[in-house]
Structure formats: structure tokens, C-alpha cells
Structure 1
Amino acid sequence: MVSLQLQNVEARYGRKVIYGDATTPPISGGHLTALVGANASGKSTLFRRIAGQLAGGGEVRLTGAAAHDLRYMPQDTGMTAALTVYESMILSLKQGSGGWRLSTTDLRAVDRVLDQLTIPQLAGTSLTELSGGQRQLVSIAQTLVTRPKVVLMDEPTSALDLYRQYEVLEVLRDYATETGAVVLLALHDLNQVMRSCTMTVAVSGGRILAAGPTLTTLRPDLIQKLYGIEARVETCSRGCPMMIVDRALPIAPAA
């Protein structure tokens, strides 16, 4: 089984320490895990540390996977290369493989992911012609086509319309179930988190405030600490949990 665990992890920008003692229980594969917190709370920094892009002490412990099995999709996808969507998918698939010869299996893998995200019509489109939402979908496709065992995605639904948001979360949930991969997503919509994510890690001010099963972690007191809002978590007529915001408090979220 694939799992990811942080043990006393530190993240540094030069001499500046952002995280000093980030520790989580094992984050197991096979389902979605959310990383939540207000803007500038440290979500992207934590992703970069896990991905090995930042230095720091402590241990990022992978079980059932190695560092090369991890893929990190940042918020800013910055697609400026003179490639079509299909060509960019092939490039993502073959990078680090030790060869550029294409097989029928490779081509089927690309077609499969484009179909899963319902964007096969974009295959021949230049990356520079894509809208913001299309770029985000292509970035997700580029990540999944390599079949990673650990997936880190920083706000993968931020540029998508409501339909596409739920479609992408279903695709990612199916991927986690099918492959047993750890899929860790930074998300802002807590109703989506409660609907789609089995586990949640909550951060604020460069600290992990809580980590555990979503429905026992995202309680009103924690939501208030994270976002500075007064909210309730209730159950709808179909038995699904949902957050209802009553008001913004006259204080900022915990820093």
C-alpha cells in the first residue's frame, strides 16, 4: 500500500523557516486527501517541500513509492511551449523514461486520459491557444498520464466552472481508487472537501493544525481558526454533510 507521512518536517526559503515541525499521520492511498487553509497559510510551501523543491530537516516518508513516483502540479501551469496538447502529453509521458520511442500502449494511455477528462477535442490545439480552464485540465492530464503513485495538486479546480470542478474530482477519486495512489489536493471549497475527500490536513501560519478523517476534522471551531468565519456543518436531506457560513468574524484567521 502506498502512503505518505511527514515527520518533523521543516521547510526553508534560504534562512527563513516556514514550517518547523510539520507532522502528520500516514496519508494512505486509494482515496482523496485535502490540504486546506486560507490564502498564504503555507499550502504551496508544504507541497514544494514534499516534492523536494525546498530544503529543510525532518523526513518525508514514502511507503510503497519512491521520489520518482511523485508528481507535483503547481497553481501556475505557465504553458508557453509551441506544442499541441497531444504533443505535450507525449512529452510528459516520456520524460525520464530513458527513451523517446512511442508504443501503442503510450498512445492509448494519452487517449485514455484525454477521454477521462472529456477533452479529446483539444488534442490538436496549441498550448498557447488554451483558455485558463483548458490549461488546468491539460495540466491534470499531463500529471495523470504518467500514472504516479503520489500526486500533489495545488488548487486543481480553481480555474474550472462548477461542472468541470465536480468532473475533475470524480476523475481524481477514480484514479486514486484504481491505482491505490496517494492523491493530495489543495482545495478551498470545504463542501467539495466534505463530499470528495476521506482525509483532511489543515494548515495555518506554517503549522499543521489538524490532520485526520475529514468529517471529524472539519468542525466549526477549526473552520473558525482557519478562515475567521462562523460556520455550521449540517446534513442535507440526502444525508450529505455541508458547511453553512453564518458570518465573517471581525478578526483575521489564525496566523
Structure 2
Amino acid sequence: MVALQLSHVEARYSRKVIYADASTPEIAGGQLTALVGANAAGKSTLFRRIAGQLSGGGIVTLSGASPQDLRYMPQDTGMTAALSVYESVILSLKQGRGGWRLDAGELAAVDGILQRLNIAGLADAPLAELSGGQRQMVSIAQTLVSRPRVVLMDEPTSALDLYRQYEVLDLLRRYAAETGAVVILALHDLNQVMRACAMTIAVADGRIVATGPTLETLNPDLLRALYGIEARVETCSRGCPMMIVDRVLELQ
């Protein structure tokens, strides 16, 4: 089983320190973990530090995986290349592998991820002609095609319609369970977090303020501190947890 742990991690842009002492308990693979927090709280910065794109002190420990097993899907993927969907997924698969010849197993991996995401019909479509939601689905395919052991996704459902949101979250939950991978998703919809994610990491102002089981972590006090809302978690008639916002608090 793969695991990820942060110990006194620092993240900086040039001389500006965003995180000074970020630590977590061991984040186990095999399940989804959410990264939550308000806009500009530091979610993308933390992902970039874990992915090795930012410098800083401290230790990012991967157990059962190497840095080469990590894939990071940023919020803005900037798809401007003159490639088809199929070509772009092949390119993602071959990065870091050396050479461009494809064997039968690699072709099967590309075909398989497009089918699993129900976008095989877009295989020949140029990236430039895709809708925002379609581009996001292609980004997910590019991220998963090499079957990484550590997956970081920044708002992977933000451009998707409601059906696709839940389809993708279910696929990612099954991917984590099948592969034992650490899968961390930055999400804003806390009802989706409670439905899909076993663990939650909460950040605010460049600090990790809580890490733990989702339904224990997303309590009214934390929701007030993170988002400035008065909210509670109730259980629906089918036994599923759901967050209800009672009011927005005045900013101090």
C-alpha cells in the first residue's frame, strides 16, 4: 500500500514563504482524500510543493512509491497543442519513458482509459475544439493513463456537469481501491467530499489546520473558521451525510 506524509514542509515562491511548517499524519492509499479550503488558502501551492514544482524545506515522504510514480493535474491545464485527444493521451503516457514507439500494452492502456472515462468517441477530436468539460475529462485521462501510484488533482470536477462529476468521483474512488494509490483531490463541493472522500486535509492561510476522517474533520467549528459560514452536517433519509448552510457570517 502506498502512503504519503508531510513533515514540517515549507513552500515558497522565490523569497515569499507560503507554507512554513506543513505536517500531516500518514495519508494512506486505497481511498480518496480531499484537500479543502477557501479560495487562495494554499491548496494549489501545497500540491505543487508535493509534486516537486516548488522549493522549500521539510520532507515529503512517499512509502511504496517513488517521485516518478506521482502525477499532478493542475486546475488550468492550458490545452493549446495541435493534437488530437488520442495523441495527447499517448504523449502523457510516454513522458519519462524514453522513445516513442508504442507496444500493444501501451495502446491498450490508452484505449482503456478513454473507454473507462466514456470519451472514446472523442479520440480523433482536436484538443482546440473541445468544450471545457471535455478538456477536463481528457486531462483526467492524461493523468491516469500511466496508472500512477500518487495522484494529485486540483478541482477535477469544476467544469463538469452533475452526471460527469459523480461519474468521475466514483471512477477515482474505484481507481484508488483497485491500485492502492494515494489520490488527493482539491474540491469545493463539501457534499461531494463527504460522499466520496474518506479523509480530509483542511488548509487556511498557508497552514494545514486539520487532517482526519472526513466526517470528523468537517465539523461546524472548522466550517466557520475556513469559510465564514454557520453550517451543520445532517443525515438524509438514505443515511448519507449532507451539509446545510444556515447563514453567512459577517467578515471580521
What is the CA distance between 1:99 and its match in structure 2? 2.0
What is the CA distance between 1:101 and its match in structure 2? 1.3
The 5 Å alignment of 1:140-159 reads 140-159=140-159
What is the CA distance between 1:95 and its match in structure 2? 1.2
Q: Determine the structure 2 residue equivalent to 1:46.
A: 46
Q: TM-score under structure 1 normalisation?
A: 0.98
Is 1:237 aligned to 2:227, yes or no? no
Q: Determine the structure 1 residue equivalent to 2:127.
A: 127
**AA at the equivalent of 1:132:** G
Distance 2:15 2:123 in 1: 44
Q: Determine the structure 1 residue equivalent to 2:110.
A: 110
Q: Determine the structure 1 residue equivalent to 2:139.
A: 139
Is 1:190 aligned to 2:184, yes or no? no
| SS across alignment from 2:40 | coil
Is 1:221 aligned to 2:216, yes or no? no
Distance 1:11 1:231 in 2: 31
| SS across alignment from 1:109 | helix
Q: Determine the structure 1 residue equivalent to 2:95.
A: 95
Aligned length: 252
| SS across alignment from 1:81 | coil
- Range 29-38 or range 94-103, more displaced: 94-103
**AA at the equivalent of 2:23:** T
Distance 2:41 2:94 in 1: 35
**What 5-or-longer segments of structure 1 have no aligned partner?**
none
Distance 1:94 1:68 in 2: 13
Distance 2:226 2:116 in 1: 34
Distance 1:98 1:13 in 2: 31
**AA at the equivalent of 2:65:** A
The 5 Å alignment of 1:26-65 reads 26-65=26-65
What is the CA distance between 1:100 and its match in structure 2? 1.4
**AA at the equivalent of 2:197:** C
Over aligned residue pairs, what C-alpha RMSD do you find?
A: 0.7
Percent identical: 76
Distance 1:125 1:68 in 2: 29
Distance 2:210 2:50 in 1: 18
What is the CA distance between 1:230 and its match in structure 2? 0.4
Distance 2:220 2:251 in 1: 16
**AA at the equivalent of 1:10:** E
What is the CA distance between 1:111 and its match in structure 2? 1.1
Distance 2:220 2:110 in 1: 42
Distance 2:94 2:51 in 1: 20
Q: Determine the structure 1 residue equivalent to 2:73.
A: 73
Distance 1:60 1:9 in 2: 7
Distance 1:133 1:83 in 2: 17
**AA at the equivalent of 1:109:** A
Distance 1:21 1:96 in 2: 31
**AA at the equivalent of 2:220:** P
Runs of 4+ in 1 over 4 A off after TM superposition: none
| SS across alignment from 1:244 | strand
| SS across alignment from 1:133 | helix
**AA at the equivalent of 1:172:** L
Q: Determine the structure 2 residue equivalent to 1:13.
A: 13
Distance 2:198 2:8 in 1: 23
What is the CA distance between 1:116 and its match in structure 2? 1.0
Distance 1:91 1:124 in 2: 14
